Structure 1
Amino acid sequence: MKPTSKYETIRQILQDMKLPTYRYLQIAEAIFKQRIGEFERMTMLPKALRDELIRAIGYQVSSVTPVLEKTSSQVSKVLFAIAGDERVEAVQLSYQRGWKSYCISTQCGCGFGCQFCATGTIGLKRNLTADEITDQLMYFHLNGHALDSVSFMGMGEALANPHIFDALTILTDKHLFGLGHRRITVSTIGILPGIERLMMDFPQVNLTFSLHSPFDNQRSELMPINNRFPLHDVMKVLDQHIRQTKRKVYIAYILLRGVNDSTEHAEAVAALLRGRGFGEHLYHVNLIPYNSTDVTPQNYSQSDQSRVKTFVRILKSREINFTVRTQFGTDINAACGQLYGTN
């Protein structure tokens, strides 16, 4: 069976060379404790092993190559080159209390065509491998940054890529990244088989569902996936997720001026989340400002503050838990919906 990641390849090499298993831990420690990014520099290993690792994996431990980095206040966006001469982006957010969070990509492009998202205009080029997903984080790690939390909210739909589950296994492996499950967030537009598998395999990983309209017809226009996995069906599975995991489910809602920010929309969002029985209090709405790009339709714009306040007032009056998100990185196209994978 073909190895699903470089870490499995390393195990296979050690087995084929009849080397002791402690060599695997030495390699893991070199990468994740000593921050060594080239096999040649792992001088604690026998030369024959280093040569074989280079032959099988390459000189660099990482499968992604940084091409360009843009920074603004509290945000850094890195453009990576990946196999096939393609590009993907990852974002680092630095919060004032010292916490560092990362937004990484799972696909090169995206095939779901959500109307307000720059990534969706590219179409799907391909799924990223488990290594390409996790190596975006490794780049920051090898450069001395703490990995406090990570969200799969970069380019692509995480749960449409089957390699996401291998990536989660790598990120939570105590010998590798060693991230706690609750420090990881997977965002989805509502891919039901993926939500169900996540619930079974990684119940403590945070789940965010992109709603963006409580009305089926409009949601189908904005997000064609709604025709395949209708809102009603997704909500039933999210209820099940809450019952089974006892964890919050986050509802992402991008406010688009004159499109989905009316009092009727706010009332309908509240009605959707109320009366769901056990755990309804565990739904938490994140209201997100819209970020325009050169490639998304010009008829979308940010809601004005009076509309946002009215929306908030209605959610509050219906006892819906919510947060109004502040956006970082809009000036370098690093905010929600802006990732496009170009220089």
Structure 2
Amino acid sequence: METKYDRLKAFVAENGWPRYRFNQILHAVFKERIGEFDRMTTLPLPLRHQLRKRFGKSVLHLTPVFRKQSGQADKVLFELPDSNKIETVRLIYRAGWQSYCISSQCGCGFGCRFCATGRIGLKRNLSADEITDQILYFHLQSHPIDSISLMGMGEALANPQIFTALKVLTDPRLFNLSPRRITVSTIGLVPQIERLSREFPQVNLTFSLHSPFDEQRSALMPINRKYPLDEVLDALDAHIQRHRRKVYIAYIVLPGVNDTPEHAEKLVSLLRGRGPWDYLYHVNLIRYNPASGAPKAYQRPREEELATLCRRLRRAGVKVTIRQSFGVDIEAACGQLYGRYYIRGEPEEHKAPAKGR
């Protein structure tokens, strides 16, 4: 599918400019971190005027309207051209690594019971440009782009534009990211898992499990009725066997709901004994994060509850990690995005920086 970079290239050619002018635009954006056409001084003034008239002031088309920071998390609310809103989170690790959690849809239509974003419903898919512009914004603000996870608003694999976005993010002329620094998270859409495995085998894959029991998982995550666990795990097995790539299992811990000894035992039986490559499954235990609009019945687990579940899995030979949690106090953590804005409206005391340099 066509992106803004395709349109820029075609526009330069159609208006009689030599091909290297397009390369100069890319150099300005991706090497010099210049987003505004008027500031691309290597371009002739008439071309700059033409670009501004056709594409607007900046190569970036998302408008940052609100920004909130807390410790190691930095959350930005963007307005889309049709006035819908999405959120993106920058995570700053102590070693200096900067990772980005980006959205693929405005809202989400899958209705997972514990997720604030899911209670909004799906407004629409994002375009490939809207997906990659979330990263472009931080790039133009001079932040390093070390890794990206498609774990923000929406189910990434439900949006076909995600495959075009992955091409842009990994294009050597553009963002030039290694596929191994990109993670796509899914609730278990089997045909799309198979497509991702074919087209982007080196991209990291995370499966959101959250219960090892089909009946309970269907209650928590209605998608399980369409794609039950056996079908999803068969698709993940095929991916592992074909590419020898690790698959991550995301498991939000809901105390008293999915952290019992029976859950641990069933999770072990699901992942162990799947063949010679079952060691490539890695469980990430995630703290449940209360959020605006999410059910009050679920509570954040205590550290000892997390540690107990982790210990049970590890003793049974399952590779497991307790994921670091950033940004809970500003509702920037897993399952919290957009709930506060949608239900109450965000206060306006923190205005986001302008969209281009």
TM-score normalised to the size of structure 1?
A: 0.97
3-state SS of 2:188 partner: coil
- Equivalent positions of 1:225-304 (< 5 A) are 225-304=223-302
The total of aligned residue pairs comes to: 341
Shift of 1:256: 0.2
Counterpart code for 1:250? Y
Q: Does 1:81 align with 2:79?
A: yes
3-state SS of 1:151 partner: strand
Distance 2:105 2:36 in 1: 25
Distance 1:162 1:111 in 2: 15
Contact 1:129–1:163 (Cα < 8 Å) also in 2 = yes
Shift of 1:68: 0.7
Deviates more, 1:146-155 or 1:57-66: 57-66
**Counterpart in the other structure of 2:136:** 138
- Equivalent positions of 1:149-188 (< 5 A) are 149-188=147-186
Deviates more, 1:32-41 or 1:152-161: 32-41
Distance 2:57 2:242 in 1: 44
Shift of 1:278: 2.8
- Equivalent positions of 1:29-178 (< 5 A) are 29-178=27-176
**Counterpart in the other structure of 1:223:** 221
Q: Does 1:18 align with 2:53?
A: no
Distance 2:240 2:47 in 1: 47
3-state SS of 1:9 partner: helix
Shift of 1:11: 1.3
Give the one of 175, 190, 193 matched to 2:191.
193
3-state SS of 1:203 partner: coil
Distance 1:123 1:151 in 2: 21
3-state SS of 2:64 partner: strand
Distance 1:340 1:95 in 2: 23
Q: Runs of 4 or more off by more than 3 Å in structure 1?
A: none
Measured on the aligned residues, the alpha-carbon RMSD in Å equals: 1.1
Distance 2:7 2:302 in 1: 53
Distance 1:302 1:263 in 2: 18
Shift of 1:264: 0.4
3-state SS of 1:156 partner: coil
3-state SS of 2:274 partner: coil
3-state SS of 1:322 partner: strand
Unaligned runs of 5+ residues in structure 2 are 347-357
Deviates more, 1:15-24 or 1:294-303: 15-24
Contact 2:292–2:336 (Cα < 8 Å) also in 1 = no
Counterpart code for 1:173? D
Distance 1:275 1:57 in 2: 55
Distance 1:305 1:76 in 2: 24
